[in-house]
Structure 1
Amino acid sequence: MSDFIRKIEGDLIFSKKYTFCTLMTRYDEYLEMVESAKLAGFDSEDIEFFFFDNKKSNQFDGYSGINRALREAEGRYLIFCHQDILFKYDCREVLDQRLQELECIDHNWGVAGNAGKNENGNTYIRISDPHFLDLKHGEFPESVMSLDENFLIINRKHNLSTTEFLLRGFHLYAIDLCQNARNLGLKNYVIDFHLYHKSPGKVDQSYFEAQQDYMDMQYFRKKSQFFWAMCSQFYVSNSRLKNIFFNLRRILRLARTILKKKDKNIKQKCEKI
């Protein structure tokens, strides 16, 4: 019987440290990225590279790609990155050091990257692209609410995912992933890891359509609603005043029930004396 029983304990064990995953549309450009990564030190047995083939048609997008990669990866860290980045500056040793520093600051971080914005709209970035060389703004690591999609490091010891069944496309999957991490109580960070991105980014009609889809999803998540649990019922909205108003009567009723039980217990104890 004991052959069928397994005890789970300790930290998760991963067979590799880094898994690189890319949505590939140009194989020559993808190979250039992989070769630059290997020259930067990502060439040992604890590294793996794989891609989704989108040359002829979009088999995967940012949302479905990340979720599938999380299931396929063997690395402790999933690096979901664009095919048009080059590891021209910082090497693997630097990334190892940056993540070690991040682990010391926040052992339960969710996602890290090289560019993002915090809740006040402040930008934190460490990158070079056709418009800016050696761009560095902010003190790192910095906690943010969103990250840029060009280079995402996902901490696979947590059960992270994108909202694949509600959202599609190639925009805003990073903020979706980051906000899902925050809903689990995790933080996301920009770290000081310098690489080259051939494109400064593109905002077109598809971006604004993705933005509207994300807004619609967030409205659906945050709309006012009554919840019925097995032992209680309560109201939740994005208004603190409404939450207090609709839940106050239930809180008072629960308090009265607790007090009645307490008085009953005291009375029973007194009768036994």
Structure 2
Amino acid sequence: MMKQPYDFSLITIVNKDDVYQEFKASLAQQKDIDYELIRINNEHQQYQSARQAFNEAAQKAKGEYLVFLHPDIRFLDPHALKDVLMQIKGLPNLGVAGIAGSPTELKNGDRVILTTIVQGDNQSSVGEKINAPTSVQTLDECFFVMTKAFWQAHPFTDCPGWHFYAVEQSLVALLAGKQNYVVPAHIWHTSAGASEDYHYVQIARQMIKQYGADFPTINTTVRKWETRGWQAQVKSLLYLGKRYITTYLRK
């Protein structure tokens, strides 16, 4: 029997029931961790954005910590969820934490991915591994956590679409004087992680406009986005054009 109030509310958006059922089966194997699970049904595209859906779910969540995760997450040992959440629960001055992210510091002029998760059908390693909670600029959307108190002070914005919602919360947290972290995790993200359609780039350009004055680059697990000067605008516009062409050719 799970206790109430909960320490953790797990919130996931469901577009395909079979994927969600596999997620639940993996979750059922987790031990020594109390939580409530909130399913957001979006199988008929009821929601226009992830932010809208998450705000609705967070409003009714009973947990002290809100855990937003994709239903294609799988846990690789019986204590994987507990290990992640106990690490996050002990972090000082928490803004947003997760299992994959990118720090402010660049390497060879490009962003770095910090994570211990594997992804895709072949469970491929991605990025640079960490051994302890590590500060980052932004978190990946596949699994991220904030306190309900932080969400109440800083709910998701009304930005439309399905991208950059964890990244934006991360930037908001930094501007609020909080700290963001990546923690080690024994987790498999079954998706290959590719999400760079033109909608992604459109929202990236909105993020550049909204937060560029505060951050010279926005570093995500997908790519680095320069935010200053006409070069940044031209680069993002050219990239948007490439994504439009790619989408058209796929059709």
TM-score (norm 2): 0.72
Q: CA deviation at 1:34?
A: 1.8
Is 1:197 the counterpart of 2:185? The answer is no
Please tell me whether the aligned partners of residues 119 and 193 of structure 2 are also in contact (alpha carbons under 8 angstroms).
Answer: no
CA distance in 2, matches of 1:96, 1:178: 18
**What is the aligned-residue identity percentage?**
24
Aligned-residue offset at 1:206: 1.3
Mapped partners of 1:139, 1:124: distance in 2: 10
Q: Which residue of 1 aligns with 2:247?
A: none
The 8 Å contact of residues 162 and 180 in structure 1, kept in 2 or not, is answered as: no
The aligned counterpart of 2:211 is 218
Query: 1:41 is matched with which residue: 21, 31, 46?
Result: 31
Offset at 1:49? 0.8
Check whether the contact 1:98–1:193 (CA below 8 A) recurs between aligned residues: no
- Cα RMSD of the aligned pairs, angstroms, is 2.4
Distance 1:65 1:139 in 2: 33
Q: Is the 1:113–1:191 contact (alpha carbons within 8 Å) kept by the matching residues of 2?
A: yes
- State the Cα distance separating 1:97 from its structure 2 match: 3.6
State the match for 1:87 in structure 2: 75
- Pick one of 197, 200, 204 that aligns with 1:207: 200
Paired residues for 1:230-241 under 5 Å: none
1:76/1:163 CA distance change after superposition, 3 Å: closer
Structure 1 CA distance for aligned equivalents of residues 143 and 82 of structure 2 = 17
Corresponding residue for 2:99?
114
Q: Once the two structures are superposed, what CA deviation does each residue of 1:141-195 show, in whole Å capped at 9, x if it has no partner?
A: 1111111100011122324535522x11111111100111112111110001221
Structure 2 SS opposite 1:178: helix
Query: How far apart are the structure 2 equivalents of 1:60 and 1:194?
Result: 32
Distance 1:163 1:80 in 2: 12
| The one of 170, 189, 204 aligned to 1:178 | 170
Helix, strand or coil: the match of 2:167? helix
Q: Name the counterpart of 1:99.
A: 88
In structure 2, the CA distance between the partners of 1:209 and 1:109, relative to structure 1 (3 Å rule), is: same
Partner of 1:144: 136
Query: Closer, same or farther in 2 for the Cα pair 1:74/1:94, shift >3 Å?
Result: same
The residue aligned with 1:66 is 54
Residue segments in structure 2 that go unaligned for 5+ positions in a row:
106-110, 215-227, 229-251
2:44 maps to 56
In structure 1, what is the Cα distance between the partners aligned to 2:64 and 2:172? 19
Amino acid aligned to 2:94: W
Q: Secondary structure at the match of 2:149?
A: coil
**Counterpart residue number, 2:147:** 155
Which stretches of structure 1, 4 residues or longer, exceed 6 Å deviation after superposition?
none
Query: Structure 1, residues 56-96: CA drift from partner, whole Å, max 9, x if none?
Result: 11425222223223211111111111111111235344234
Number of paired residues?
Answer: 202
In 2, Cα distance between the equivalents of 1:187 and 1:28? 36
Question: Any conservation in 2 of the 1:114–1:194 contact (CA below 8 Å)?
Answer: no
Output the CA distance in 1 between the equivalents of 2:198 and 2:125: 30
> Which of 6, 14, 23 is 1:16 aligned to?
6
CA distance in 2, matches of 1:31, 1:97: 25
Equivalent-residue separation in structure 1 for 2:86 and 2:94 (angstroms): 15
Change beyond 3 A, Cα 1:63–1:96: closer
The aligned counterpart of 2:179 is 187
SS in 2 for 1:22: strand
> Counterpart of 2:137 in structure 1: which amino acid?
M
